[in-house]
Amino acid sequence: MRNTAVLLVVCPDRKGLVAAIANFLLRHNANILHADQHQDSAAGLFLMRVEWDLDGFELGLHRFDEAFGPVAAEYGMRWNLSLSSVRPRLAIFVSKYDHCLADLLYRHHAGELYCEIPLIVSNHPDTHWLAEAYKVPFQHIQVSKDNKPDAEARQLAMLDAHHVDFIVLARYMQVLSPDFIGHYPNRIINIHHSFLPAFHGAKPYQRAFERGVKLIGATSHYVTEVLDDGPIIEQDVTRITHRDDLEDLVQKGADLEKVVLSRAVKWHIDNRILVYGNKTVVFD
Amino acid sequence: MRNTAVLLVVCPDRKGLVAAIANFLLRHNANILHADQHQDSAAGLFLMRVEWDLDGFELGLHRFDEAFGPVAAEYGMRWNLSLSSVRPRLAIFVSKYDHCLADLLYRHHAGELYCEIPLIVSNHPDTHWLAEAYKVPFQHIQVSKDNKPDAEARQLAMLDAHHVDFIVLARYMQVLSPDFIGHYPNRIINIHHSFLPAFHGAKPYQRAFERGVKLIGATSHYVTEVLDDGPIIEQDVTRITHRDDLEDLVQKGADLEKVVLSRAVKWHIDNRILVYGNKTVVFD
Amino acid sequence: MRNTAVLLVVCPDRKGLVAAIANFLLRHNANILHADQHQDSAAGLFLMRVEWDLDGFELGLHRFDEAFGPVAAEYGMRWNLSLSSVRPRLAIFVSKYDHCLADLLYRHHAGELYCEIPLIVSNHPDTHWLAEAYKVPFQHIQVSKDNKPDAEARQLAMLDAHHVDFIVLARYMQVLSPDFIGHYPNRIINIHHSFLPAFHGAKPYQRAFERGVKLIGATSHYVTEVLDDGPIIEQDVTRITHRDDLEDLVQKGADLEKVVLSRAVKWHIDNRILVYGNKTVVFD
Amino acid sequence: MRNTAVLLVVCPDRKGLVAAIANFLLRHNANILHADQHQDSAAGLFLMRVEWDLDGFELGLHRFDEAFGPVAAEYGMRWNLSLSSVRPRLAIFVSKYDHCLADLLYRHHAGELYCEIPLIVSNHPDTHWLAEAYKVPFQHIQVSKDNKPDAEARQLAMLDAHHVDFIVLARYMQVLSPDFIGHYPNRIINIHHSFLPAFHGAKPYQRAFERGVKLIGATSHYVTEVLDDGPIIEQDVTRITHRDDLEDLVQKGADLEKVVLSRAVKWHIDNRILVYGNKTVVFD
């Protein structure tokens, strides 16, 4: 495992930004491993991701804020520092469909997702066995129209108790309240089973089938207050034919959902995603 | 070039359909080269495409109607016969964007599209040089709000005079009237520069850019009275990144449009497409 | 679950084949659900897959052989009948890499693979926990240069005892002997982690990395005596960039391997694959 | 059209490289538009592409060499500077297959390829009409076993007379001599009609057909003395089925070849490609 730091920066574009950051890092003897930047010329923004080796880095990270503060202030930067050695803590929300859950748990077991998973939350007991197979704590919290505020309060308390950093909705079939979402801005990742903005809302496979499209898709995005409208992280599609009935679409789609969701989760963990406006930059 | 016949059939599904058609063909000594069928169980329909060698076929084609009529009547078939040796006659409509036109003309020249192209119609003179390079007659017919009915009347007269069988809108930027469309039901192919039903209507690339999608698409479809809503023939997508600005989307999209449109045209010529309801079956 | 029969046929091409089969089925009141045929004109072969509803079929299947025999004899058909209600019995062979095993077990659990899995055989104990989670019997049989004939004899005895119909090598890292392979002709499916014929043999990812290819692939194929040379069932690729080191290739490749192997297994179970010469036809 | 400069750099990896380059540019008041870097940790190399606006850049480009020289020397950089306003001069070599030529000429006409095309060289007269349609000078130079050295001498003289910067072999069916290649190191781009290293050499489509692969590919690469072995720039594949005969492969492959070749040409023009060892980095 690498012992590196990742700095994400967004600020108004102007001259000298790359040099300012590179010099700050060099001053503290950083060995830059990756540096990638992007200008959104329409928005007038500069966005950067830089990763450096902490081996030999001469600035204590507890003092990073203080040391980098003046640079950030001068250029009006919004920034975020993360350490590759610190595993963020993920809670997975799931209902009855278990393919995304099984996929995430396997990838975590295989070392593809460098995070902790202290908690699975479900409004159904069906996936308990999977949680057990992978030895992850499982909480069954029933949700109905009537008890939703209570249920969310219980969920939030658990997330808090487990120091959860971000949430993945792995085909969780309940709409979260704006209040809940507000606790985890740009930290709740959803998978929607269509190529957004096509077929947002309910029953996307059935509507795709009825419209006679030739490809079906899946979209992972951050959750905002507007349903299926948050910043898109990743999308992919697969070809279907007239031979595929609705059940085939569901099955082919499941494979898409797994891949599109797991990429988003991995990129979030690796601090590759910068959200600005309602869009994302995913640094590769 | 093959000397074959293609029969497309759609009818209510019931037992004995494959045998009825196979026996009819065998009776006249047909050598079946391809036979493909599909059941739409939801709609209760049987759809078939069968292609046979005319070498040795003992039924004169002028008598096909009479001979096959009783079989068709018994099963309630809607059917269509075409000959691979007869090149259908295609008129291409185009405005200023010339990438689809250039692509179609090249493919026609290269022998990929087995049709005649007696006519290119444009509301702008810009693509005249391409028509000349490929030696295809070019007609410039200006279209404005005021003269639309007149312009369409002139277009229809030309199509008639040239015995045109089907029309391709190769990025033709005028909306056709229901009356015009009614002359060529399921015989006008359009290319829309988005993954329908996402971004139907105007400026799909700009709206895709603003929404922050990670893939852009193109859709070829038959034209119906409702804009961008006809039966979809083919779709494809390509990946974009945050590095792509609007101009890049337009350029990447152009490559998609060419491929997605030319596939639809080829399949139409090869009589591979069966329209039913608002969907297509494309026999491969 | 459908109650259908599938007939696969291959024979020299001549007139009347489709009618002969359709009439035979109609005579026994079969309702054909799918029929697909292919001519390999170079090889002069006719290949067909036909599936019909057993509901109302008036020929007892124990008498199918006797009844269809004369038709088959007349046309020189090699044929195979299978029932969708009969789950074939699959043994999975695996070594240490567990991604394909985990994927197959999950898909089996999810109902995507309509087969029984009476046995997992491994030359390492590492994947025992997965077998347990999915409640599949697991046999650890060590294999070394010295004990290979003995080990294979034990494996064959187990396969026999469990009435295994076909075998999947889910990244099983031992080369099987010709004698072993001879027991399951066209019934052992392997996944090779390259786009064959590129990089056959050992360490394909490393060689792909060194060659600087821009896509990596995976290939599922039936096992023959010549290493990585059997009839190809399915292939797919994924894009890599200069940012991907060898470890990234292995991880991206694992996702490919899972999908490419599981498609082959599914098609084998659904009797969609016809092997002829060193090629396959996969009826869709 | 942008007025920018692009610097490509490769050197042994060490600390301070990003800062050194960023500071050099800042010192001369450059506004960096794109900066992308890569470390090949196995090779111990640092590779970078940086593009900046020449508007406001205070260093005369005739003095760039002198000014940047000391930085380059200190770090042992191999570097290359190019200006987006200078169109490199491309000669296209072609034989009888004209699809890649037609595609490149159209893209050039459409403004996708920012280069001059002063010359088309062919060993056959067949594509003369295309050159005329796009108003590009065409030279027919016959090549046979006997006259090859003479023919190449004439070709080289023409390239020289037209100040050609790089050459594209658009399905040019003659093998170039090592001497010829030596005149344009990493400046001759070839398209090979297979997914290299599979099916290098002659008749790749036929061999793909015989092997029964499920995807066919195309590869663009720089030409070196070893046939089909130079640094790969781009590859792509497309799916085929048992329904595709050899002619279909050739036609589907042609579409691949066009796209894969034109991408390589565009990236070469945009100075996105760094060759090191037998590999390329393509900066996006």
* Mean pLDDT over each residue of chain B, to the nearest integer: 95
Distance between C213 CA and the closest CA of chain D, angstroms = 6
Are C19 and B31 a contacting pair at CB < 8 A? no
The string over B148-159, giving b where at least 16 C-beta atoms fall within 10 Å of a residue's C-beta and e elsewhere, is: eeebbebbeebb
- The tokens describing D233, both together, are 């720039």
For residue A9, the cross-strand partners are A48, A79
- The tokens describing C201, both together, are 């043999």
Distances (CA, A) of B93 to B127, B168, C271: 11, 6, 46
Looking at residue B4, its pLDDT comes to 95
For residue C122, the cross-strand partners are C94, C140
Give B1's pLDDT tier (boundaries 50, 70, 90): low
Q: Tell me: domain B4-83, CATH 2.40.30.270, correct?
A: no
Taking 90 as the threshold, does the pLDDT of residue D42 lie above it? no
Contact B145, B69 (CB under 8 A): no
Q: Which of C99, C255, C258, C266 is the best residue to mutate to test the A interface, defined by the most A CB atoms within 10 Å of its own CB?
A: C255
Torsions phi, psi for C215 (to 5 deg): -140, 145
State the alpha helices, DSSP H only, in C128-196: 128-133, 148-161, 178-183
Torsions phi, psi for B51 (to 5 deg): -125, 130
- Per CB-CB distance under 8 Å, the chain B contacts of D243 are 284
Taking 90 as the threshold, does the pLDDT of residue C1 lie above it? no
- Who's near D54: CB < 8 A, 6+ residues apart? D3, D4, D5, D61, D83, D85
User: Do strands A166-169 and A188-192 pair parallel, antiparallel, or not at all (unpaired)?
Assistant: parallel
Are D243 and B284 a contacting pair at CB < 8 A? yes
Catalytic residue among B98, B103, B165, B228: B228
Helix/strand/coil for D54: coil
- Over residues D123-140, mean pLDDT: 97
Distance between A5 CA and the closest CA of chain B, angstroms = 23
Looking at residue C144, its pLDDT comes to 94
Distance between B282 CA and the closest CA of chain A, angstroms = 7
Which chains lie within 8 Å of chain C at 3 or more CB pairs, if any? Answer: A, B, D
- The tokens describing D253, both together, are 């492959």
- Over residues B203-207, mean pLDDT: 96
Residues of chain B above pLDDT 70, percent:
100
- Who's near C225: CB < 8 A, 6+ residues apart? C178, C181
- Who's near A17: CB < 8 A, 6+ residues apart? A11, A37, A46, A48, A75, D32
Contacts made by residues A75-80, CB under 8 angstroms, sequence distance 24+? A75/A11, A75/A12, A75/A14, A75/A17, A75/A20, A76/A11, A76/A12, A77/A9, A77/A10, A77/A11, A78/A9, A78/A10, A78/A11, A79/A7, A79/A8, A79/A9, A79/A10, A80/A7, A80/A8, A80/A271
Pick D255's closest partner by Cβ from B133, B243, B259: B259
Taking 70 as the threshold, does the pLDDT of residue D1 lie above it? no
Give B2's pLDDT tier (boundaries 50, 70, 90): confident
Domain coordinates of chain D in residue numbers?
A: 4-83, 89-282
Taking 90 as the threshold, does the pLDDT of residue D2 lie above it? no
Taking 90 as the threshold, does the pLDDT of residue D41 lie above it? no
Looking at residue A47, its pLDDT comes to 95
* Mean pLDDT over each residue of chain D, to the nearest integer: 95
Helix/strand/coil for D184: coil
Model pLDDT for residues B134-172, shown as the tens digit of each residue: 999 999 999 999 999 999 999 999 999 999 999 999 999
- Over residues C153-172, mean pLDDT: 98
Contact B128, B96 (CB under 8 A): no
Pick D19's closest partner by Cβ from A17, A26, A38: A26
Pick A35's closest partner by Cβ from D18, D26, D29: D18
Model pLDDT for residues B84-122, shown as the tens digit of each residue: 999 999 999 999 999 999 999 999 999 999 999 999 999
Contact D191, D268 (CB under 8 A): no
Pick A284's closest partner by Cβ from C98, C129, C243: C243
Q: What is the mean pLDDT of each run of 10 residues along chain A (284 residues)?
A: 91 92 94 90 92 92 94 96 95 98 98 97 97 97 95 98 98 96 98 96 95 97 94 97 94 96 98 94 94
First CA to last CA across chain A, in angstroms?
A: 19
Model pLDDT for residues D68-95, shown as the tens digit of each residue: 999 999 999 999 999 999 999 999 999 9
Helix/strand/coil for B128: helix
Looking at residue D70, its pLDDT comes to 96
Is D248 a residue of the active site?
A: no
The CATH class given to the A89-282 domain equals alpha beta
Helix/strand/coil for A250: helix
Contact D44, D15 (CB under 8 A): no
Catalytic residue among D228, D244, D255, D284: D228
Model pLDDT for residues A114-165, shown as the tens digit of each residue: 999 999 999 999 999 999 999 999 999 999 999 999 999 999 999 999 999 9
Q: Which of B199, B205, B213 is the best residue to mutate to test the A interface, defined by the most A CB atoms within 10 Å of its own CB?
A: B213
User: Do strands A215-222 and A188-192 pair parallel, antiparallel, or not at all (unpaired)?
Assistant: antiparallel
Q: Which of B251, B256, B257 is the best residue to mutate to test the D interface, defined by the most D CB atoms within 10 Å of its own CB?
A: B251
Looking at residue B41, its pLDDT comes to 84
Distance between C134 CA and the closest CA of chain D, angstroms = 32
Looking at residue A1, its pLDDT comes to 63
